């Protein structure tokens, strides 16, 4: 785990806020549940209080899980409403210290990491459902194109996702469970990963 205790105070309630992740950009105050931005060791209120604790989820912050041989721990999440349902975007820390986004949507799991590619990303408007698009080394098909609203956040996240804000995104699928996600409202960003077998994401009862 990437530990570096950064002692800050919540501007909303005054409680100490400890960010465990050196690269955390958003931390939810454990005392008053206010989402807080972290920027250059300063802290600012990032939105309204979160109410995620009341909603059920397949993963829990701070517990350990395993996918095949790899252990990981969810440290933060953002929950999104895309109109027809909800999904959770978890930031999980791997045993080697690296991090990934783990999406959970009605029992479907996908793991993704930021994708650096030299060419500019296609525009949201240009992505028609079913269209073929080449991103990086993959020939992909647009399988979803939508807008989702962030309902709330918990824990720590490496990117400032704002509760109440809407984000446009597209999912592109390729061979061998390949998934590329494009996001358009926090600068055009790309993430690449794979769909996981949900039955292989299992809780660990103790340290590996
Ligand atoms: Zn607080």
List, for residues 164-173, the tens digit of each pLDDT value: 899 999 999 9
How far does residue 2's CA lie from ligand 1's centre (Å)? Answer: 23
DSSP letters along 14-67, please? --EEEEEETT--EEE-TTT--EEEEETTEEEE-SSPP-GGGS--SS-TT--EEE
**pTM to 2 decimals?**
0.88
Residues of the chain with pLDDT > 70, as a percent, come to 92
Question: Is the model's pLDDT at 9 over the cut of 50?
Answer: yes
Burial class of 130 by CB neighbour count within 10 A (0 to 12, 13 to 18, 19+): exposed
How far does residue 92's CA lie from ligand 1's centre (Å)? Answer: 23
List, for residues 76-107, the tens digit of each pLDDT value: 999 999 998 899 999 999 998 899 999 998 88
Mean pLDDT lowest among 37-41, 100-104, 140-144, 161-165: 37-41
How far does residue 7's CA lie from ligand 1's centre (Å)? Answer: 13
How far does residue 195's CA lie from ligand 1's centre (Å)? Answer: 36
How far does residue 126's CA lie from ligand 1's centre (Å)? Answer: 42
Structure tokens at 188: 């055009």
Mean pLDDT lowest among 45-49, 61-65, 167-171: 45-49
How far does residue 89's CA lie from ligand 1's centre (Å)? Answer: 23
How far does residue 184's CA lie from ligand 1's centre (Å)? Answer: 30
Confidence at residue 64, expressed as pLDDT on a 0 to 100 scale: 95
CB 84: neighbour CB atoms within 10 A? 6
Residues of the chain with pLDDT > 90, as a percent, come to 62
């Amino acid at each position: 785990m990437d530990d570096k205790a950064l002692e800050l105070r919540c501007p909303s309630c005054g409680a100490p806020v400890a960010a465990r992740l050196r690269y955390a950009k958003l931390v939810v105050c454990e005392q008053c549940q206010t989402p807080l931005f972290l920027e250059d060791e300063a802290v600012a209120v990032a939105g309204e209080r979160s109410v995620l604790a009341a909603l059920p989820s397949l993963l829990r912050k701070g517990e350990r899980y395993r996918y095949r041989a790899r252990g990981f721990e969810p440290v933060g999440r953002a929950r999104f409403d895309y109109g027809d349902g909800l999904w959770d975007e978890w930031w999980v820390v791997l045993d080697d210290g690296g991090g990934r986004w783990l999406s959970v949507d009605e029992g479907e799991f996908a793991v993704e990491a930021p994708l650096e590619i030299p060419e500019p990303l296609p525009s949201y408007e240009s992505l028609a459902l079913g269209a073929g698009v080449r991103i990086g080394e993959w020939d992909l098909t647009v399988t979803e194109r939508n807008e989702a609203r962030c309902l709330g956040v918990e824990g720590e996240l490496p990117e400032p996702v704002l509760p109440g804000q809407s984000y446009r995104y597209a999912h592109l699928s390729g061979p061998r469970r390949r998934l590329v996600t494009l996001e358009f409202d926090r600068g055009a960003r790309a993430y690449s990963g794979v769909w996981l077998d949900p039955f292989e994401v299992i809780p660990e009862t103790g340290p590996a």
